[in-house]
Amino acid sequence: MKITIFGSGYVGLVTGACFAEVGNDVLCVDIDHQKIQRLEQGEIPIYEPGLEALVVENTSKGRLKFTTDIKKGVDFGLYQFIAVGTPPDEDGSADLRHVLSVAESIGTYMEEYRIIINKSTVPVGTADLVKEKVTSVLKERNVIMDFDVVSNPEFLKEGDAVNDFMKPERIVIGVDNPRTKELLRFLYSPFNRSHERFIAMDIRSAELTKYAANSMLATKISFMNEIANIAERVGADIESVRKGIGSDSRIGFSFIYPGVGYGGSCFPKDVQALERTSRKFGYDARILQAVEAVNNDQKGTIVKKIIDHFNGDIKGKVFAVWGLAFKPNTDDMREAPSRTVIEALWKEGATVKAYDPVAMEEAARIYGERDDLKYAANPEEAIIGADALVVLTEWLVFRSPDFEMIKRELRQPVVFDGRNIYSPEYMEQAGFVYYSVGRRPRG
């Protein structure tokens, strides 16, 4: 089948590579010329395990191609995926500019029936807006042409995106007619073999499903951070509490780790966008507001611990920061807690020596050259001469470090662990002043 994908970011590129891998002809379109140039040369602009091999293999077989030519994209595929960004607007609502611009292009260039499949995360009602946009452009062109709009929210996780796409837990499709439903079922059949994962529903429900899923996961995290904050105050240990509640199968162990707050390109913006949508429809979504507020505060809790430890003055201090990405196995730093923490440390006059296995290039892109941000070639180098270590992402490489070396090289043996990856007992025995989240002995 011939498939066009607008947007070659985390979602578009993975979608394109995976559809090509199962034998389809895929054309990926992006307005970012540099990105497309790199992709054409087999260079992957993002870090995503397994993606490079798929892109290189399928490009060499001629099944995966890249272009900036929008018309070529519209001409190419019966299936036209929209996988462009939907960043937050000024008021936190989803900015639909890119989605509607693709809809306008499709309306402008289409010469025959097309299925427009929206994979971007978009508020309820966006499929209608896409439909209206295409219809109005066709009208301006004075042509009558059939097309369908489908909602197909994406649930892949950065860091395991290829796996998630190839073996999805569910394929959610929002459609308004049975024929399109069957075309989509056929398109996704290679990923739906072992058991039924295809969940078809009406379009608005599919659009809401994505926001509901992300908001539920974000709620679990904020809830757990709130319990951790309570645990710190009442002298309980959140790790014991986590095990105690996670063992209840109705609750489960996933997404109940406390930490420095959730980040990334999805949870913060999607919780906000759903809250704004609810407000627009006259409903005050109090849980979502609280989820967001707790998360914003949580990013600051580690900074407060740092400042308190140094008696309110960290001017001139140097902090080794382990982890910049919003989670392990990605280079994505969108809304990463590291950004809030680092910026707060700078504001207080401190300097940061950072190490991240893959996100340092992204940090350099975001922050440029500055005197108060240095990058280390490895985790050990970040420690040398620093006043304290701050752990912000739970990369495996940070889990079992050389504590002797850390103690020797830090000016003071102080560790602020925003991910609870070390044992408080061990750290105390090893002679560290150790701060974590919701745990005894030091918070």
The answer to whether 277 is a known ligand-binding residue is no
Q: Give, in order, the Cα–Cα distances in Å from 337 to each of 183, 362, 392.
A: 41, 14, 7
For ligand NAD, the binding residue among 3, 4, 11, 257 (CB under 6 A) is 11
Nearest distance, CB of residue 280 and ligand NAD, angstroms: 18
Query: Before 190, cis peptide (omega within 30)?
Result: no
DSSP 34-94: HHHHHHHTT--SS--TTHHHHHHHHHHTTSEEEES-HHHHHHH-SEEEE-----B-TTSSB
- Burial of 318-352, coded b for 16+ CB within 10 Å and e otherwise, reads bbbbbbbbbbbbbbbbbbbbbbbbbebbeebebbb
Residues 153-182 that bind ligand NAD (CB under 6 A): 154, 156, 158
| Angular region, 199: left φ>0, alpha ψ -120 to 50, beta rest | beta
- Residue 285, interface with ligand NAD (CB under 6 A)? no
- Residue 354, interface with ligand NAD (CB under 6 A)? no
Q: Give, in order, the Cα–Cα distances in Å from 70 to each of 41, 76, 154.
A: 20, 10, 23
Task: Give the number of residues in contact with ligand NAD, rule: CB under 6 A.
Answer: 26
Q: In 166-323, at which residue ranges do the beta strands (DSSP E only) sit?
A: 171-174, 198-201, 318-322
The answer to whether 91 is a known ligand-binding residue is no
For ligand NAD, the binding residue among 101, 192, 205, 278 (CB under 6 A) is 101
Q: Using CB under 6 A as the criterion, what x/- string covers residues 13-42 for binding ligand NAD?
A: ----------------xxxx--x-------
Which of 315, 34, 328 is closest to 158 using CA atoms?
328
| Angular region, 235: left φ>0, alpha ψ -120 to 50, beta rest | left
DSSP 357-404: TTTHHHHHHHH-S-TTEEE-SSHHHHHTT-SEEEE-S--GGGTS--HH
- Residue 9, interface with ligand NAD (CB under 6 A)? yes
The answer to whether 157 is a known ligand-binding residue is yes
Nearest distance, CB of residue 403 and ligand NAD, angstroms: 34
Is-contact 1 16, C-beta < 8 A? no
- Residue 427, interface with ligand NAD (CB under 6 A)? no
For ligand NAD, the binding residue among 24, 67, 80, 121 (CB under 6 A) is 121
Nearest distance, CB of residue 254 and ligand NAD, angstroms: 17
Check if 18 is active-site: no
Provide φ and ψ at 324, rounded to 5°.
-120, -35
Q: Which listed residue (46, 106, 172, 266) is catalytic?
A: 266
Give me the residue whose beta carbon is nearest to ligand NAD. Answer: 9
Judged by beta carbon, residue 48 or residue 417, the one nearer ligand NAD is: 48
Judged by beta carbon, residue 95 or residue 380, the one nearer ligand NAD is: 95
Nearest distance, CB of residue 176 and ligand NAD, angstroms: 21
DSSP 112-140: S-EEEEE-S---TTHHHHHHHHHHHHHHH
The answer to whether 167 is a known ligand-binding residue is no
Which of 179, 125, 115, 119 is closest to 149 using CA atoms?
115
Nearest distance, CB of residue 423 and ligand NAD, angstroms: 31
Judged by beta carbon, residue 35 or residue 299, the one nearer ligand NAD is: 35
For ligand NAD, the binding residue among 24, 80, 86, 338 (CB under 6 A) is 86
Q: How far apart are CA 439 and CA 76, in angstroms?
A: 56
For ligand NAD, the binding residue among 84, 217, 344, 414 (CB under 6 A) is 84
Q: Using CB under 6 A as the criterion, what x/- string covers residues 125-144 for binding ligand NAD?
A: --------------------
The answer to whether 327 is a known ligand-binding residue is yes
Binding-site residues for NAD(+), in ranges, read 30, 35, 86, 121, 158, 269, 334
Residues that bind ligand NAD (CB under 6 A): 6-12, 29-32, 35, 83-86, 98, 101-102, 120-121, 154, 156, 158, 265-266
| Catalytic site positions | 266
Binding-site residues, in ranges, read 30, 35, 86, 121, 155-158, 210, 255-259, 263, 269, 327, 334
